[in-house]
Each structure stands twice: as C-alpha cells, then as structure tokens.
Structure 1
C-alpha cells in the first residue's frame, strides 16, 4: 500500500499516522486528553517537543499538585478531583511516590 502524503506548496510530506485526534502539547492537560481519547476508542496522537510528558509539572520539578483536596471546617479532607487527575494521584500513592495531602 503506498504511503499517503499531504501536499504542501511545492512539496510532498509523508503522512506519519492516520489518527482521529491530534493533541499538541504533552503537559498535564494534553496528556490527560490523549489518554482519555484513546481509552474512549479514538486513535490519538500526542505531539510534544520535549522528551518527557507532564509539562512544567515534570520539567519544572513541581513537588506538589495543589487543589486536589478541601479541608472542611471540622477538619475533614474532601477530595475535589476525579477522573484522570485522581488516577495519576492514586497511582503515585500506590508506588509511595507522594505524600499528603498536607
């Protein structure tokens, strides 16, 4: 089967992949978007210029994700996030790679 191409003025560029969704940027939101789309059955491609995912959460050595919990007046902690963010937090906790909430 011949490789598909896209015509760019005066140039033919090979098509690297045929996908349903292209997510540009592998920061926290882009990674969540691509993984969630793939889990929903879409063929998703994630394009990131750096050799790691997570954006500034990774590259900036961010040591905490704020806003995942709220402390009630009685002192109880209430989890505010769900979905992909909660899954990341749970996976880190399962590997003893996080602490808190503080």
Structure 2
C-alpha cells in the first residue's frame, strides 16, 4: 500500500500552505492511506510561539502519525509526537512512496 510522508519545515507554519498540508494529511488518512508528518525542529520552534491550531491537534484522531527528531522548544502538549532518531526519520522518508515538503 502506498504511504505518504509529509515534512513540515519552518518556512511558514500555519500559513495557507501549511493549512493546505494539514487538509491533505487528514484526507489521505481518512481514506486509509498510511500518513506520517515529520515536524522538523525549526517547525516545532515556530509552532511553540503560535496559538494552538485545531487541525494540527486533530491529526492523531484521523490516524496521522506525527514524528519529530526532538521536542525541544515544543510547548504544545496537545500534539502526540513520536520522537525518532535521525536514522529512523531517514528510513521513514526512504520507505515512503510519496514525500511532500512544506
């Protein structure tokens, strides 16, 4: 089965493009597509300074796996993050059939 791997960078969290990515994540997961979101350290830092985003906090409810390399700077406890090593993140990226960077 195909899998999607999204990488959220610090380029503009919670912008229209970021919201579009969240919609794509939830849609894919709602149709049973294995979907993973990697919140990079830069993205986590930016998100920690922003108000809580409901779509972001609902990802786990849709079956989206949220991963990160660390929780440094992350003040939003509502996110269910799985902390992975750099090797595990690279493996996930390599094994995914579609990789999208936002």
Confirm or deny a common fold (TM above 0.5): no
Task: State TM-score, norm by structure 2.
Answer: 0.30
Query: Larger relative contact order (C-alpha < 8 A, sep ≥ 6)?
Result: 2
Larger helix proportion of the pair: 2
TM-score of the aligned structures, taking structure 1 as reference length: 0.30
